[in-house]
């Protein structure tokens, strides 16, 4: 094994080398486990890159002995190595017998001669007696000259197996030994030997991705049954039977490991290769059913059970085994557990610059590390940092988390729970979903309900060493669903509450955080203002520290004021603080934050009148941050006039520009601004400002949605009020960027609109967010927004809006797999649309029903609804709908295996879509046409259609459809025998699918794995 301290040094180098070698994603994922065995494995892979000088440094860093260093260097062939490879002998028995030298097949002569070599090859290194050879070649009736014939066959084989072979002479490939012969081949020259080696190492490897990788590579050595096509006596030989049984054992072990790591599609690929060779093996069938169900092919899994049950009854007259029946029952109940491969999130926010002090607290936290990192512990380790607002809880937690992040190799999770935010705390289910997103749980696999989501979260963290930071918690109840359930994880919780319940029930270690000591407070100021300036006015520094109550937040604000006004003495700043003493009512009494109001009011009173007004109104914004355009709408001013005001607030440290163009409050400052607004601003202003803000987000969302879905049927918009700034969204890229940046804010805006009685804004905001939330896979958010929209539409009493809201809720339910609920809302929408005579609404609903039925595998139902939509669109003269429905009908014909009919409908769709310049529809139809051509065997036409669709999806920034088309393009290339083009297309598709966190990534991994070897 490589020295432990060398692994980090060589990890990235080995990864680059493996990438150059064209190894699989799974092989790349195990690159950290560097060993001599790994190097020996790599040398057997075909590499077409030039030798890299850095490989010698890699060998030296690994501490390899001289022979192993040379072996590594030889792994990347230079001209001499390639010449040697051309003479390399490779024999294969795991499938039809095959022998090749230099890439060319060797003619092994007549059948008995081939069988003799095969008999030796399935028993490598063993002496096979002449009697055994005679028995296998001729059975009970050997010819009289059988022994001389055996000698003749051996001599001919020696010549055919390369007479110039070095360093051994031809006579040593098949050696005479005792009363028989033995085949002398190295492990890399015989597929059976390589399989056995990989299988042995994979089963001995501890449970890990490395074990899956080794077993996967072992199974890829097989091309079919042992010695397929050879004589029955040879195929029934004990050595051949033993190899076949070992293959089954390895496949079953691989299936179990792959399922636990979420590699279901890869398991499907391996097991489907084996299943035809083991048609009555119930264990293989059971594992394949599990893999199919895990890949989302539940119907195929159930169909396989029916097929195997029939085969057992017909061929053996027996019922399925208990294992097979139990697997069938669990799939019916949807109890199969899908565990995605574990990502390593890195969610910690940036460390606080200039952090100082808190030495004793850091030492106390450090003392918890040995306990937290022990996998033998009985519970997760929890640290609860509590203290008043602005005391530096977050700064301490984040600073320490960065210090120890490397101790938790499985990653770090972070969430600001906004426990004391005026807009309300983050609900536990929202926080859990955020963590599940970070752990790469696809949206369609996200369970519904807090309990189920928390259970999945705990399962994903089981056995892992993860650091979890829960910042600004309101109470223990908000925290409990976010706690891991197994040892090895450490949770840091910060809160203004002491979290006594968490300490009592969950054994949290309390770390109370008080004010800074005088020396620490002085060091904080010195770190921001310079030691010389602090030393020049020690009395003023002491007065500032006292006026700020040694509260870090207050000290930072004062330091910012002093830094931006270097001409003002610290004594003058201290005097201003004394004059402005007061206190926030929310933090009155013994709370040391009483004096924070003095700091805030001092900074506030220094603002210009316009900036002070903006500061107050910003307290009415419900989101975590906002842009200059949103601030301008809130204030009812042009953006050009607001930008200087925002800059003034940032300079005063009353606002933070956390990202370019995005501004955020500290929650205490937000409370202060809202308090000032309630005291100062007239009621009319406090009502008009939120209305303008809603108009800003609603109309900008309209504009962004129009870029994402330009042919969508529009709704009647609520006019924007005067002085509302609508952001410019020039193209699809800008639209996606805007929605992505405003995602959380838009959700908060819709909730506020619903709770404050802005019902029209509520359902129209939901309408405008639909395309983005759907395409990006934020289906649980979509469901929540659509539920608010439905309630708002009902309150408004508008049946058309209610019908559309029912359809929106149904679409979201379908996306999260709640098909029964989706059906209820779809049919309610159809009833309402029918009652009011809205044929377009009916058509849209039937088209959505077609999509859902297709997703469920009900292809005939899907075709029915697609045809119904087509008829309604045509009757209403809706050309865009008609064109898209024509493609839908064609697609579902193709899904039903009716490819000629599919091409007929898609051709009509394409002509109409091109006429109306509906580019997304054209791209989708070209994809459908390519799919039909592919299944008709017209691969050239399929590739052309897919490539045209691909160009259009890329131009539109539609990454989800781009990934699907790339996958099908790879299928067409593969069918045409163009394996390298197929590999390139599938690799590109996999990158996109992994970035989008879509489950289809497993299927593509399986396709790629099937190409390797």
The 3 state secondary structure assigned to 447-466 is CCCHHHHHHHHHHHHCCCCC
Q: How large is the average pLDDT for residues 276-292? A: 88
Identify the band that residue 7 occupies on the pLDDT scale cut at 50, 70 and 90. very low
* Least confident segment among 64-73, 123-132, 736-745, 779-788: 64-73
When pLDDT is cut at 50, 70 and 90, the band that residue 172 belongs to is low
Closest CA to 859 of 798, 902, 919, 803: 902
Q: Which residue has the higher pLDDT, 617 or 334?
A: 617
| Own/partner long-range contacts of 496-505 (Cβ < 8 Å, ≥24 apart) | 496/386, 496/387, 496/388, 496/389, 496/419, 496/420, 497/386, 497/419, 497/473, 498/384, 498/386, 499/384, 499/386, 499/473, 499/475, 500/476, 501/475, 501/476, 501/477, 502/382, 502/384, 502/476, 503/384, 505/476
Instruction: Name the least confident of 850-859, 865-874, 972-981.
Output: 850-859
Query: Residue 849's pLDDT is what?
Result: 93
Q: Are 690 and 623 in contact (CB under 8 A)?
A: no
pLDDT over 90 (residue 753): yes
Q: pLDDT tens across 210-265, in order?
A: 577 678 788 888 888 998 888 888 988 999 999 999 999 999 888 887 777 666 76
> Can you give the pLDDT at residue 498?
75
pLDDT of residue 264: 73
Q: Which of 702-716, 866-880, 952-966 has the lowest mean pLDDT?
A: 952-966
Locate tokens 């969302």: which residue? 701
Q: What is the pLDDT of residue 463?
A: 62
- For position 591, what pLDDT does the model report? 37
Pairwise CA distance, residues 627 & 696, whole Å = 11
pLDDT of residue 805: 93
User: The dihedral of CA 57, 63, 66, 71: what is its sign?
Assistant: negative
Bridge partners (DSSP) listed for residue 381: 490
Lowest-confidence segment of 19-23, 88-92, 164-168, 296-300 by average pLDDT: 19-23
* Lowest-confidence region among 585-599, 802-816, 952-966: 585-599
Work out the pLDDT band at 594, boundaries 50, 70, 90.
very low
Which whole number is the average pLDDT over 861-880?
A: 93
- The predicted-structure confidence for 817-847, as pLDDT tens digits, reads as follows 788 889 889 999 999 999 999 999 999 999 9
Instruction: Please give the Cα distance from 125 to 182 (Å, whole number).
Output: 6
Length of the chain: 1013
Q: Greatest CA span in the chain, whole angstroms?
A: 122
pLDDT tens-digit profile of 688-721? 999 999 999 999 999 999 998 888 888 887 889 9
Distance of alpha carbon 669 from alpha carbon 675, whole angstroms: 10
User: Which own/partner pairs from 986-991 qualify as long-range (CB within 8 Å, at least 24 positions apart)?
Assistant: 986/1011, 989/963, 989/964, 990/25
Beta bridge partners of 926: none
Q: What percent of the chain has pLDDT over 70?
A: 82
Q: Where residue 549 falls among pLDDT bands split at 50, 70, 90?
A: low
What is the predicted pLDDT for the residue at 442? 67
Average pLDDT over residues 385-398: 82
pLDDT of the residue at 472: 87
pLDDT of residue 339 exceeding 50:
no
Q: Calculate mean pLDDT across residues 55-72.
A: 45
Reported as a single tens digit per residue, the pLDDT across 426-443 is 889 889 988 988 887 766
| Lowest-pLDDT choice from 258-267, 745-754, 969-978 | 258-267
Quick: pLDDT tens for 495-534.
Answer: 877 787 888 878 888 888 877 888 888 888 888 888 888 8
Would you state the pLDDT for residue 336? Answer: 55
pLDDT at 373 over 70: no
Confidence tier at 935 by pLDDT (50, 70, 90): very high
Maximum mean pLDDT: which of 58-62, 308-312, 530-534, 767-771: 767-771
Please give the structure tokens belonging to residue 488.
Answer: 């090895």
Question: Which has the higher per-residue pLDDT, 833 or 485?
Answer: 833
Helix, strand, or coil (residue 468): strand
Q: pLDDT tens for residues 525-535?
A: 888 888 888 88
Under 8 Å CB-to-CB from 188, ≥6 apart: which residues?
A: 43, 44, 90, 194
Give the model's pLDDT for residue 494.
Answer: 92
Handedness of CA 191, 192, 193, 195 (dihedral sign): positive
pLDDT confidence of residue 351: 79
The pLDDT of residue 10 is 36
The rounded mean pLDDT for the chain is 80
| Bridge pairing between strands 626-627 and 490-495 | unpaired
Of the candidate ranges 97-111, 612-626, 766-780, the one whose mean pLDDT is the lowest: 97-111
Question: Which conformational region is residue 711 in: left (phi greater than 0), alpha (psi within -120 to 50 degrees), or beta?
Answer: alpha
Q: What value does the mean pLDDT take over residues 138-164?
A: 82
Confirm if 66 and 72 have CB atoms less than 8 A apart.
no
- Which has the minimum average pLDDT: 3-12, 146-155, 474-483? 3-12
Distance CA 667, CA 423 (A): 10
For residue 379, name the pLDDT band (cuts at 50, 70, 90). Answer: low
Separation CA 390–CA 551 (nearest Å): 6
How confident is the model at residue 933, as a pLDDT?
95
Which two three-digit tokens encode residue 480? Answer: 């409990």
Provide mean pLDDT across the span 663-671: 75
Task: Beginning with the edge strand found earlier in the chain, give each strand of the sheet holding 98-101 in spatial order.
Answer: 89-92, 98-101, 104-105
Percent of the chain with pLDDT over 90: 29
What is the reported pTM?
Answer: 0.53
- When pLDDT is cut at 50, 70 and 90, the band that residue 17 belongs to is very low
Per-residue pLDDT at 527: 83
**Residue 816: predicted pLDDT:** 79
- The pLDDT value recorded for residue 462 is 65
Point out the least confidently predicted range of 286-290, 437-441, 823-827, 997-1001: 997-1001
């Amino acid at each position: 094994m490589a020295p432990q301290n060398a692994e980090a040094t060589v990890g990235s180098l080995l990864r680059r080398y493996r990438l150059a070698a064209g190894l699989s994603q799974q092989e790349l994922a195990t690159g950290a486990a560097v060993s001599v065995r790994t190097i020996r494995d790599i040398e057997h892979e075909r590499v077409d890159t030039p030798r890299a000088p850095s490989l010698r440094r890699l060998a030296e860093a690994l501490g390899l002995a001289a022979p192993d260093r040379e072996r590594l260097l030889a792994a990347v062939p230079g001209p001499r190595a390639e010449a040697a490879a051309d003479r390399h002998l490779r024999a294969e028995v795991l499938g039809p017998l095959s022998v090749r030298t230099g890439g060319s097949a060797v003619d092994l002569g007549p059948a008995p001669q081939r069988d003799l070599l095969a008999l030796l090859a399935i028993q490598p290194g063993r002496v096979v007696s002449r009697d055994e050879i005679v028995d296998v070649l001729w059975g009970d009736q050997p010819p009289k000259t059988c022994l001389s014939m055996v000698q003749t066959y051996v001599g001919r084989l020696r010549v055919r197996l390369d007479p110039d072979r070095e360093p051994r002479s031809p006579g040593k490939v098949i050696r005479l030994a005792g009363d028989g012969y033995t085949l002398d081949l190295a492990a890399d020259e015989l597929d059976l030997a390589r399989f056995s080696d990989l299988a042995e190492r994979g089963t001995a490897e501890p449970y890990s991705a490395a074990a899956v990788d080794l077993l996967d590579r072992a199974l890829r050595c097989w091309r079919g049954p042992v010695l397929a096509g050879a004589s029955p006596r040879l195929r029934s030989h004990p050595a051949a039977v033993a190899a076949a049984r070992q293959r089954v054992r390895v496949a079953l072990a691989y299936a179990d490991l792959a399922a636990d790591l979420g590699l279901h599609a890869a398991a499907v690929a391996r097991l489907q290769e084996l299943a035809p060779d083991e048609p009555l093996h119930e264990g293989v069938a059971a594992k394949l059913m599990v893999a199919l169900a895990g890949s989302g092919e539940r119907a195929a899994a159930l169909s396989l059970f029916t097929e195997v049950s029939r085969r057992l009854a017909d061929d053996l007259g027996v019922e399925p085994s208990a294992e097979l029946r139990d697997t069938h029952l669990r799939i019916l109940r949807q109890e199969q557990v899908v565990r995605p491969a574990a990502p390593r999130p890195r969610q910690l926010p940036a460390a606080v610059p200039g952090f100082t002090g808190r030495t004793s607290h850091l030492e106390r936290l450090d003392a918890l590390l040995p306990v937290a990192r022990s996998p033998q512990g009985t519970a997760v380790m929890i640290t609860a940092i509590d203290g008043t607002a602005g005391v530096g809880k977050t700064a301490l937690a984040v600073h320490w988390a960065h210090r120890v992040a490397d101790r938790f190799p499985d990653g770090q999770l972070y969430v600001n729970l906004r426990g004391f935010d005026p807009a309300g705390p983050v609900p536990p289910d929202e926080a859990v979903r955020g963590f599940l997103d970070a752990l790469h749980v696809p949206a369609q696999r996200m369970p519904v309900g807090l309990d189920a989501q928390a259970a999945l979260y705990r399962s994903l963290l089981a056995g892992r060493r993860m650091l979890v930071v829960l910042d600004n918690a309101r109470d223990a109840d908000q925290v409990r669903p976010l706690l891991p359930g197994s040892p090895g994880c450490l949770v840091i919780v910060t809160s203004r509450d002491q979290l006594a319940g968490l300490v009592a029930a969950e054994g949290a270690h309390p770390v109370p955080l008080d004010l800074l000591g005088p020396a620490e407070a002085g060091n904080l100021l010195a770190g921001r203002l310079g030691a010389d300036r602090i030393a020049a006015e020690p009395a003023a520094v002491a007065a500032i520290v006292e006026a700020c109550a040694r509260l870090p937040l207050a000290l930072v604000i004062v330091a910012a004021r002093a830094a931006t006004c270097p001409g003002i003495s610290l004594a003058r700043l201290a005097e201003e603080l004394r004059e402005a003493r007061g206190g926030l009512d929310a933090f009155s009494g013994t709370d040391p934050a009483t004096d924070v109001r003095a700091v805030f009011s001092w900074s506030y009173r220094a603002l210009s009148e316009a900036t002070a007004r903006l500061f107050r109104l910003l307290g009415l914004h419900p989101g975590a941050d906002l842009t200059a355009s949103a601030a301008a709408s809130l204030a009812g001013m042009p953006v050009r006039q607001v930008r200087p005001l925002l800059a003034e607030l940032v300079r005063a440290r009353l606002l933070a520009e956390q990202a370019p163009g995005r501004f955020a409050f500290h929650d205490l400052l937000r409370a202060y601004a809202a308090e000032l607004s309630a005291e100062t601003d007239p009621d009319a202003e406090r009502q008009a400002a939120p209305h303008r803000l809603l108009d800003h987000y609603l109309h900008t969302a309209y504009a962004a949605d129009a870029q994402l879905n330009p042919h969508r049927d529009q709704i009647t918009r609520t006019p924007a009020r005067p002085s509302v700034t609508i952001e410019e969204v020039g193209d699809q890229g800008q639209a996606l960027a805007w929605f992505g940046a405003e995602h959380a804010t838009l959700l908060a805006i819709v909730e506020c609109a619903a709770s404050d009685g802005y019902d029209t804004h509520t359902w129209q905001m939901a309408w405008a967010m639909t395309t983005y939330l759907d395409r990006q896979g934020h289906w649980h958010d979509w469901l929540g927004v659509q539920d608010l929209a439905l309630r708002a539409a009902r309150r408004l009493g508008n049946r058309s809006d209610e019908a559309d809201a029912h359809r929106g809720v149904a679409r979201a339910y379908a996306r999260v797999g709640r098909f029964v609920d989706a059906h209820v809302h779809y049919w309610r929408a159809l009833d309402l649309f029918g009652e009011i005579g809205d044929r377009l609404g009916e058509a849209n609903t039937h088209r959505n029903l077609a999509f859902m039925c297709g997703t469920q595998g009900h292809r005939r139902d899907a075709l029915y609804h697609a045809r119904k939509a087509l008829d309604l669109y045509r009757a209403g003269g809706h050309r865009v709908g008609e064109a898209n429905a024509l493609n839908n009908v064609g697609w579902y014909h193709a899904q039903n295996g009716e490819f000629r009919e599919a091409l007929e409908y898609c051709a009509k769709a394409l002509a109409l879509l091109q006429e109306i310049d509906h580019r997304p529809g054209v791209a989708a139809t070209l994809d459908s046409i390519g799919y039909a051509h592919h299944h008709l065997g017209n691969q050239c036409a399929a590739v052309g259609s897919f490539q045209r669709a691909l160009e259009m999806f890329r131009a539109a920034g539609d990454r989800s459809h781009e990934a699907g088309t790339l996958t099908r393009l790879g299928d067409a290339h593969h069918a045409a025998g163009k394996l390298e083009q197929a590999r390139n297309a599938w690799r590109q598709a996999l990158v996109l699918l992994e970035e989008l966190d879509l489950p289809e990534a497993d299927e593509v991994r399986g396709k790629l794995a099937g190409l390797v070897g």
